[in-house]
Amino acid sequence: MTLDDALYPPIETLQNGRMKVGALHDLYWETCGNPQGIPVLFLHGGPGAGLSPNSRRFFDPQKYHIVLLDQRGAGRSTPLGETRENTTQLLIEDIEQLRARLGVERWLVFGGSWGSTLSLAYAQAHPERCLGLVLRGIWLVSQAEINWWLYGIRNFFPREWEAFAGHLTEHERHDLLGAYSRRLESSDPEIYLPAARAWSRYEGSCLHLLPNPQTADAFTQDAVALGVGRLEAHYFRHGAFLQEGQLLRDMARIAHLPGFIVHGRYDVICPVRYAHAVADAWPGVDLRIIEDAGHSSYEPGIAAALVDATKRFARDGHFQQR
């Protein structure tokens, strides 16, 4: 099975626009599909990765009213890579502002990786606005997960980690996050752009079960690297502006909502144990482990499972466990 076999055909936008939030940020949003269909919100990963045309293709355009948003500092939102006035709580406010702007009462929330983090945080803050959640590549922003990303992935991708750490001087490598943060927050593009490319290439090189050089190359493009590098380091440094263990602690707030989680068995970006932790705290959730996949939502097995989930929700209003 190829990715095109798993996803719906390319979908054109119906509407797009910009939404001013605060003094600094101007956000890009778009809709596609059926305006009378089931509202669904797509939350991209990163933080900072932004949308792509493929983001629309997990949903039947006849059944869903698909809403997509480039979060603060990401994609076509401006300023790209801006970390000021950029917190999880403000992103949640942005989602609510967009929901009200579009006249959506309740929607299905769909997010992977950092998008799963933001989906959980949003749903726990506004459970009354959610029809359910479809999540991929669970990330709970614990210190253990951050440390794993910075240092543990080298056990599986040693050369990629060496290139990542090698961007820094040897005496800085005991504190990769601090050293990268200093470079990424520099005002000098000759300092921050190479750091952003090195950070982003590291992540892009580790996303797939099998090597995918095209993804790694795409992550080094400045339009992607600056958002991913700056915003990931910013959110890592602040624990995503959440209390340690907050998302698991507050699972009771959304326990009544239907949920679906898909996670690659060999996901080294977001280890699978955290998907099990969320499932253990969420009675009735449908957890699907894909045995031949890593992290990316564009690995065929993961994409097929996500599409299956949206099909079942459109048909039944929930996710029937098999």
Which residues face 288 on adjacent strands? 262
Asked if 70 is an active-site residue, the reply is: no
Q: Say what the alpha-carbon torsion angle 302, 213, 10, 94 is, to the nearest 10 degrees.
A: 70
Asked if 113 is an active-site residue, the reply is: yes
The dihedral of CA 309, 310, 311, 314: what is its sign? positive
Interatomic CA distance for residues 177 and 114, integer angstroms: 18
Selecting among 77, 113, 119, 142, the annotated active-site residue is 113
Residue 70 DSSP code = P
Place of tokens 């098999």: 322
Interatomic CA distance for residues 57 and 129, integer angstroms: 23
* Whole-number CA gyration radius for the chain: 18
Residue 197: both structure tokens together? 């490319």
Asked if 267 is an active-site residue, the reply is: yes
Beta strand 13-21 with 25-33: parallel, antiparallel or unpaired?
A: antiparallel
Residue 112 has φ and ψ, to the nearest 5°, of: -125, 145
Strand ranges across the sheet with 64-69: 13-21, 25-33, 64-69, 38-43, 107-112, 130-136, 259-264, 286-290
CB atoms within 10 A of CB 262: 26
Tell how far CA 285 is from the center of its chain.
Answer: 20
Selecting among 60, 208, 295, 296, the annotated active-site residue is 295
User: Is residue 8 within 8 Å of residue 59, measured between CB atoms?
Assistant: yes
Selecting among 267, 286, 296, 297, the annotated active-site residue is 267
Residue 285: both structure tokens together? 């959730």
Catalytic residue ranges: 113, 267, 295
